[in-house]
Chains A and B, each alone.
Chain A
Amino acid sequence: SAVISQKPSRDICQRGTSLTIQCQVDSQVTMMFWYRQQPGQSLTLIATANQGSEATYESGFVIDKFPISRPNLTFSTLTVSNMSPEDSSIYLCSVRLNAYEQYFGPGTRLTVT
């Protein structure tokens, strides 16, 4: 398995500001993902962040809004830019170890006022 930590665990931010979420993994992994989970909803993939390449964004998500860094095999950041109340959600970091095993961090609970 993989142990994943995220910072911050929660935050309350003002409209128009940006927040950077950090994800740290206890082992080196190639495939890392960022998801969003809105209240009462399932998980939606924002982007795939593989080390050594540009992040790949899913339909509906753009780099200007959700820039991602992946400087090495154990760390990634997701920034939520120019936030609006619609960005209030739980943001989850995830890593894939093999074809079957994909693990998630504890999540960052974001509230935008």
Chain B
Amino acid sequence: QKEVEQDPGPLSVPEGAIVSLNCTYSNSAFQYFMWYRQYSRKGPELLMYTYSSGNKEDGRFTAQVDKSSKYISLFIRDSQPSDSATYLCAYKTGANSKLTFGKGITLSVRP
């Protein structure tokens, strides 16, 4: 079993839709959780990060962590064409440990 599994894509939604992106993990030692957004031909951009279970909101984005079920989700409300990108989940076990990335899911928001 891979350490991190991310929903396969690509995903295409109409503008204004609510998007749900999901990752599951097997390593119960993961304590830090991040979401990165990567536009085509650009480096990954840190979108959100969290440490605890529960929800964290930032504008149209909500990161949800469920440590007991070992999954994290990113919700995008009122999706915009500018949200079209690849989204990568990332985890690490400790403050100084390495990041483990999911494969990424490509989202396309149709105008």
A residues with a Cβ closer than 8 A to B are 1, 4, 31, 33, 41-43, 45, 48, 58, 92, 98-107, 109
Contact, CB under 8 Å: A45 / B98? yes
Q: Which chain B residue has the least Cβ–Cβ distance from A101? A: B46
- Bound complex: CA of A107 vs CA of B44, how far in Å? 9
Contact, CB under 8 Å: A104 / B102? no
CB neighbours (8 Å) of A42 from chain B are 88, 101-104
B residues with a Cβ closer than 8 A to A are 32, 34, 36, 41-46, 49, 51, 88, 95-96, 98-99, 101-104
Contact, CB under 8 Å: A100 / B103? no
Which of A41, A42, A45, A58 has the most chain B CB atoms closer than 10 A to its own CB? A42
CB neighbours (8 Å) of B36 from chain A are 104
Question: Looking at the complex, which one of A43, A98, A107 makes contact with B42 (CB distance below 8 Å)?
Answer: A107
Contact, CB under 8 Å: A99 / B32? yes
Contact, CB under 8 Å: B51 / A100? yes
Contact, CB under 8 Å: B51 / A102? no
- With A100-B34, A100-B49 as contacts: A45 and B43 at CB distance below 8 Å: no
- Bound complex: CA of A41 vs CA of B102, how far in Å? 9
Shortest Cβ distance from residue A8 to the other chain B in the assembled complex, whole angstroms = 14
Shortest Cβ distance from residue A109 to the other chain B in the assembled complex, whole angstroms = 8
- Bound complex: CA of A104 vs CA of B88, how far in Å? 13
Contact, CB under 8 Å: B98 / A106? no
- Bound complex: CA of A92 vs CA of B104, how far in Å? 16
- Bound complex: CA of A102 vs CA of B36, how far in Å? 10
CB neighbours (8 Å) of A31 from chain B are 96
CB neighbours (8 Å) of A45 from chain B are 98-99
- Bound complex: CA of A111 vs CA of B62, how far in Å? 37
- Bound complex: CA of A43 vs CA of B45, how far in Å? 13
Contact, CB under 8 Å: A104 / B32? no
Q: Which chain B residue has the least Cβ–Cβ distance from A107? A: B43
Question: Looking at the complex, which one of B46, B88, B96 makes contact with A103 (CB distance below 8 Å)?
Answer: B46
Contact, CB under 8 Å: B99 / A92? no
